């Protein structure tokens, strides 16, 4: 069987086991962190990551796919420390997480030049290490597929075609970015069976999600706990309906949890929780609440659990 790159080196794809396909061991702005390092407590960040990943491990998780790319503070040294200290495999990516902005460095270089940076991460290693990227990341959000976002998508697509590397694309169902994202990948000749459109679970519109599945891509029901986008009951109803309609082989279930995130001041998390914008957001919510609820509704059994949490991540990452 083929190999999958992790922060501790390549592993046999068949050994990935139960996989959370979208979690962040740390999320922060690398520019702010580089300019004001004293505003960050690395030891506290590491402890939070070890706690979150350790909790997931207790629920049987063997592998975590971490789509932290440029602008999320990707740091393979940090990720490797978390993997080594927890015994959970972490799968890193390359790419650019931007809803529109590009620094002049990339604004003044074309998509092929951008793709060449991604290929370097895939073929040689990330950040001066021999840790190689296992997949490509890009994003489209409220602004839609802007010119810059399209450029990143085309660069990601070209690296995917060149290296056979899978893609995860952050999407925003509220403005229906998914179909256009898939269209760009198709135009570039990407194998759509290696594409995952993330955050589809933010909508309860099953037919929108089925439209994407019909293109052959995986869809992420991957923001459990982020009630501000969609509450858990509606997420579960969507998941159950998709499972009943026979789409288990196209679904990815995860939480998009960030063990730490610098987007808001520290007091905000409590405010978000008290306002109901997040609820039990963690790396274990899907095992503590989602899987039991889907089982109770008769939508998920042992075999479809295996499909969603073991087979789909493996197939998406390795192609087999």
Of 174-233, which residues contact Zn ion (CB under 5 A)?
A: none
Nearer to Zn ion, 25 or 184 (CB): 25
In the complex, the smallest distance separating the C-beta of residue 264 from Zn ion, rounded to whole angstroms, is 15
Stretch that binds Zn ion, among 12-20, 156-164, 172-180, 248-256 (CB under 5 A): 248-256
Q: Are 164 and 37 in contact (CB under 8 A)?
A: no
Rounded-to-integer distance, Cα 164 and Cα 170, Å: 20
Nearer to Zn ion, 121 or 256 (CB): 256
Nearer to Zn ion, 121 or 141 (CB): 141
Stretch that binds Zn ion, among 173-181, 237-245, 250-258, 286-294 (CB under 5 A): 250-258
Token pair for 80: 């490797």
Nearer to Zn ion, 159 or 226 (CB): 226
Rounded-to-integer distance, Cα 278 and Cα 109, Å: 39
In the complex, the smallest distance separating the C-beta of residue 222 from Zn ion, rounded to whole angstroms, is 8
Of 60-79, which residues contact Zn ion (CB under 5 A)?
A: none
Nearer to Zn ion, 75 or 256 (CB): 256
In the complex, the smallest distance separating the C-beta of residue 67 from Zn ion, rounded to whole angstroms, is 5
In the complex, the smallest distance separating the C-beta of residue 112 from Zn ion, rounded to whole angstroms, is 27
Q: Are 66 and 25 in contact (CB under 8 A)?
A: yes
Q: Where are the beta strands (DSSP E) in the chain?
A: 3-6, 9-12, 19-20, 63-65, 89-91, 93-95, 135-139, 167-170, 195-198, 218-221, 251-253
Residue 168 forms beta bridges with which residues? Answer: 137, 196
**In 3-state terms, what secondary structure has residue 216?**
coil
Nearer to Zn ion, 156 or 299 (CB): 156
Nearer to Zn ion, 71 or 118 (CB): 71
Of 130-159, which residues contact Zn ion (CB under 5 A)?
A: none
Instruction: Count the residues of the shown chain that bind Zn ion, applying the rule CB under 5 A.
Output: 1
Nearer to Zn ion, 202 or 256 (CB): 256
DSSP string, 116-163: HHHHHHHHT-STTSS----EEEEE-BTTBS-HHHHHHHHHHHHHHHHH
Out of 66, 188, 227, 256, name the contact with Zn ion by CB under 5 A. Answer: 256
Among residues 82, 51, 54, the alpha carbon closest in space to that of 66 is found at 82
Token pair for 92: 């890193």
In the complex, the smallest distance separating the C-beta of residue 22 from Zn ion, rounded to whole angstroms, is 6
Measured in degrees and rounded to the nearest 5, phi and psi for residue 64 equal -120, 125
Stretch that binds Zn ion, among 2-10, 135-143, 249-257, 262-270 (CB under 5 A): 249-257
In the complex, the smallest distance separating the C-beta of residue 266 from Zn ion, rounded to whole angstroms, is 20
Token pair for 107: 């604004």
Q: Are 286 and 253 in contact (CB under 8 A)?
A: yes
In the complex, the smallest distance separating the C-beta of residue 138 from Zn ion, rounded to whole angstroms, is 12
Stretch that binds Zn ion, among 55-63, 256-264, 286-294, 302-310 (CB under 5 A): 256-264
Q: Which residue is nearest to Zn ion (CB)?
A: 256
Rounded-to-integer distance, Cα 242 and Cα 252, Å: 11
Place of tokens 């109770």: 296
In the complex, the smallest distance separating the C-beta of residue 228 from Zn ion, rounded to whole angstroms, is 14
List CB contacts of 209: < 8 A, sequence separation 6 or more.
173, 200, 203, 219, 238, 242
Contact footprint for Zn ion (CB under 5 A): 256
């Amino acid at each position: 069987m083929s190999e999958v790159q992790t922060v501790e080196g390549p592993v046999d794809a068949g050994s990935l086991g139960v996989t959370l396909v979208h979690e962040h061991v740390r999320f922060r702005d690398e520019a702010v962190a580089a300019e004001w390092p004293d505003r960050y407590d690395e030891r506290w960040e590491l402890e939070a990551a070890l706690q979150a990943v350790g909790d997931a491990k207790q629920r049987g998780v063997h592998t975590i796919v971490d789509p932290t790319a440029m602008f999320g503070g990707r740091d393979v040294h940090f990720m490797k420390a978390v993997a080594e200290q927890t015994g959970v495999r972490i799968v890193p990516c390359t790419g650019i997480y931007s809803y529109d902005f590009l620094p002049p460095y990339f604004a003044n270089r074309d998509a092929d030049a951008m793709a060449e940076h991604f290929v370097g991460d895939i073929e040689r290693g990330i950040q001066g290490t021999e840790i190689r990227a296992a997949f490509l990341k890009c994003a489209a959000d409220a602004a839609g597929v802007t010119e810059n976002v399209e450029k990143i998508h085309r660069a990601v697509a070209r690296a995917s075609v060149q290296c056979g590397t899978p893609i995860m694309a952050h999407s925003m169902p509220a403005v229906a970015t998914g179909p256009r994202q898939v269209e760009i990948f198709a135009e570039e000749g990407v194998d759509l069976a290696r594409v995952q459109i993330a955050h589809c679970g933010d909508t309860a519109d099953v037919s929108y999600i089925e439209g994407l599945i019909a293109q052959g891509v995986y869809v992420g029901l991957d923001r459990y706990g982020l009630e501000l986008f969609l509450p858990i009951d509606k997420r579960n109803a969507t998941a159950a309906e998709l499972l009943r309609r026979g789409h288990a082989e196209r679904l990815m279930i995860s939480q998009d949890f960030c063990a730490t995130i610098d987007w808001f001041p520290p007091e905000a998390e409590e405010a978000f929780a008290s306002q109901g914008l997040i609820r039990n957001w963690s790396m274990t919510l899907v095992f503590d609440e989602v899987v039991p609820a889907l089982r109770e509704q008769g939508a998920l059994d042992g075999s479809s659990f295996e499909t969603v949490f073991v087979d789909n991540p493996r197939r998406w990452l390795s192609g087999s």
